[in-house]
Structure 1
Amino acid sequence: MTCPDKPGQLINWFVCSLCIPRVLRLWSIRRPRTRRNLLLGTACALYLGFLVSQVGHVSPQHRRAPEKGPRQNLDAAGTPFLELPLDGTLAPPENQGNGTTLQPNVVYITLRSKRSKPANIRGTVKPKRRKKYPLASLTQETWTKPASQPQGLAGAADADVHGNSHNEEADKGWGRPWILAQRPDLQLPRTSESNIRIYSESAPSWLSKEDIRGMRLLADSAIGDIQELPSQTGARLLVLEGNSKNKWPSCGTSPCGLLKRPLDMSEVFAFHLDRILGLNRTLPSVSRKSEFIQDGHPCPVILWDSSLSPTDNGSHSSVSLTWGAYQQLLKQKCWQNGRAPKGEWGCTEVHHHEWSKMALFDFLLQIYHRLDVNCCGFRPRKEDACGQKGVKRKCDNQDTMELTHIVQRKHDPRHLVFIDNKGFFDRSEDNLNFKLLEGIKEFPESAVSVLKSQHLREKLLQSLFLDKVYWESQGGRQGIEKLIDVIEQRAKILLTYINAHGAKVLPMNQ
């Protein structure tokens, strides 16, 4: 006889071992039956009868033959439930045959999405190189170089946004700009929907009515002419349809926009960032694409401003300054609090606060060509102008280094105009150019308050969404968010720098 292996069988075995000998003793031994023996024997007989009755009785669950197929699971109450497939699909409930259905137990799993760190980001995506067809084939007419340029372009063209050296490889495929004389078929058909999207009752508060009008002009106006500019970047001038009298700074009788390369798309981001920070020093910029320009790739277009002061062809600046002279005038705080500077201070007409605004703006976007044209404050890459082969970095004597693209307006020499605002979003945090902040002891309160408010992302999303072509060219919200990630991280670094150096935060509303 084998030893029982379950608790219930063990109990039955123990009771039987006690009862059976007593029953046999009652029936085999002839002696008087006492009441005690009679009761005990009766109880044992009843228990044995109960055991015999259970021998042939088997539960239907144990009598059922094992089913082929996947095994069912049981919950704590013994009720079977369906396994949830890993692919997220769920079969319909099974019919039980009695009018009811077996409902599965569903477990809801929430996966917390982890935001990936910003990857190596370029401000724009380099367009694919496609076979270029002559522009004459589009119009079936001869294209010729411009005999002359509109009045007002001679001095400012090189200063235009526009004249520092760039990577030659990036310039390939931009093509030689030509001009088509007054062709009506050059105009684009007007569309009922503007490329500047404003779905609320008013535009964001940081954009003025003039900004919105300028953006709509650049994005939606028909193009009447394309003119070449004498600059190394191959920038072109779009003559837009419309009368510029009392409306727009013009390059003749019509408003104009400066058309740049697809790789300069960060100019559009720079415009919106400038307005959100309350600096208001850039020119309105939008993204625009056309079938006869760069195979339809989006390009930045900046509103042409003929009121800019004439610039030097070497430095592309209306203010001639070396790095040493710049550091000296920062110490003198020229024109601050309305006091006139002394002659020996070496001040220019530019107000002291303008340098603080420019340094903050350039640091966030890592624009180096104004204050660090030789790339002495960071490790340049081959994409940077000073990282190209054959370019010698002159970082031994910084005091003689000349500042570039420092431009004012003719009628307003106290304030700067930020031009050529190509930023770099793929500069790593351990390679940021802190030389741009050297000598700056005060920062604009309006800009710093925005950086501290934690609303920079929200405002940039609202503002950049207005430009439909730019939004789509950067990959929609997902692409825009990656660019904002970079700016937010640089903003945190800048705020840490301000606190660590004890710099003052002042209102600069002059």
Structure 2
Amino acid sequence: MVARSLFPEFPENPNVTLHDGKVRPVVWFEPNILHGGSYQKDQNTIDVTWPGYLRILKARCWDRDNYIGDDTICNFPIRLIEWSKLALLDFLIQNYDRLDRNCCGYHNVSQGESCFRKQFHLECDGDPENLMLVHILTLSTDTSRLVFIDNAGNPKRSIDALNYKLLAGIEELPEHSVAIIKSGFLRSMLRRSLYSDNIFWNKMTDEGIDAMIETIEKRTEKLLTFIEEQNIKLVPDY
């Protein structure tokens, strides 16, 4: 995802909200994204419900060392570590629009998530088998790895009102990612990453950049506490 300004090709372009010259996030088109399933086919490779996702984690589907091979649960070859990486990212950026699209883990405390405005959260008290994950995508060239798109993070979400449902069922996390968090170099690495998109960097103030990084740093502290309290195992990545 990068930041870009969009301008209309024609003055009469009706979509003025997107083509007004302001800098907005843009996702590059990837022709190898694999689309499938029946639920929002354009945004998913497979259909996964919230309970189904938890069953995948419990069965350790496609774990490099402990794959059970239950075809009734592990019917798509996404490696177990991929779900761990996804959960780690989504917790740090507080992305509701993937693992918890209905915002059931926020206890109906809206701080900018559109799921409350669209009243998706009203479905949380219903049958959990109706709660679908979205943006669960792989490449057709490699169905074992997830592709992270539409990373709808919320930098304004209060540190005391984070969604821990995003970490539910996770029993292990990639040790390399956690080592980076503990290293003391996370701030400089984040700044370098943000700077790589010059359009975004030049649009932001130093205070805005620092505030965004401080938000992530505070969330990493919560994540490390969660890892310790829940006895989360740290394992090698690929």
TM-score greater than 0.5 by the shorter chain: yes
Q: Based on CA coordinates, which of the two structures has the bigger radius of gyration?
A: 1
Q: Name the amino acid aligned to 1:505.
A: L
Q: Does 1:435 align with 2:160?
A: no
Residue of structure 2 aligned with 1:373, choices 76, 101, 115: 101
Residue of structure 2 aligned with 1:484, choices 210, 213, 219: 213
Residue of structure 1 aligned with 2:230, choices 501, 507, 510: 501
Q: Deviations over 1:37-65 (max 9, x none)?
A: xxxxxxxxxxxxxxxxxxxxxxxxxxxxx
Q: Name the amino acid aligned to 1:356.
A: S
CA distance in 2, matches of 1:325, 1:176: 38
CA distance in 2, matches of 1:299, 1:324: 34
Q: Name the amino acid aligned to 2:15.
A: R
Looking at secondary structure, tell me which structure has more helix per residue: 2
Alpha-carbon distance change, 333 to 462 in structure 1, aligned in 2, over 3 angstroms: same
User: Hey, what does 1:299 align to over in structure 2?
Assistant: 24
User: Hey, what does 1:356 align to over in structure 2?
Assistant: 84
CA distance in 2, matches of 1:363, 1:342: 28
User: Hey, what does 1:423 align to over in structure 2?
Assistant: 153
Q: Deviations over 1:413-460 (max 9, x none)?
A: 111000101210000012100000000000011110010001100111
Q: Does 1:336 align with 2:66?
A: no
Relative contact order higher in (CA < 8 Å, ≥ 6 apart): 2
Is the Cα–Cα contact under 8 Å of residues 173 and 232 in structure 2 kept in the other structure?
Answer: yes
CA distance in 2, matches of 1:344, 1:434: 28
User: Hey, what does 1:469 align to over in structure 2?
Assistant: 199
CA distance in 1, matches of 2:74, 2:150: 26
Alpha-carbon distance change, 422 to 389 in structure 1, aligned in 2, over 3 angstroms: closer
Q: Deviations over 1:60-91 (max 9, x none)?
A: xxxxxxxxxxxxxxxxxxxxxxxxxxxxxxxx
RMSD value, Cα:
2.5
What secondary structure, in the 3-state scheme, does the structure 2 residue paired with 1:416 have?
strand
| TM-fit CA distance, 1:332 | 1.1
Over 3 Å off, 4+ runs:
133-137, 311-315, 344-347, 389-392
Residue of structure 2 aligned with 1:408, choices 117, 138, 142: 138
Q: Name the amino acid aligned to 2:24.
A: C
CA distance in 2, matches of 1:337, 1:390: 39
| TM-fit CA distance, 1:469 | 1.6
| TM-fit CA distance, 1:499 | 0.5
CA distance in 1, matches of 2:144, 2:156: 33
What secondary structure, in the 3-state scheme, does the structure 1 residue paired with 2:99 have?
coil
User: Hey, what does 2:177 align to over in structure 1?
Assistant: 447
What secondary structure, in the 3-state scheme, does the structure 2 residue paired with 1:424 have?
coil
CA distance in 2, matches of 1:323, 1:400: 8
| TM-fit CA distance, 1:361 | 0.4
Q: Identity of aligned pairs, percent?
A: 35
Point out where structure 2 has 5 or more consecutive residues left out of the alignment: none
| Length, aligned pairs only | 228
Q: Deviations over 1:175-231 (max 9, x none)?
A: 528xxxxxxxxxxxxxxxxxxxxxxxxxxxxxxxxxxxxxxxxxxxxxxxxxxxxxx
Q: Deviations over 1:271-308 (max 9, x none)?
A: xxxxxxxxxxxxxxxxxxxxxx31x2112232211000
CA distance in 2, matches of 1:442, 1:362: 15
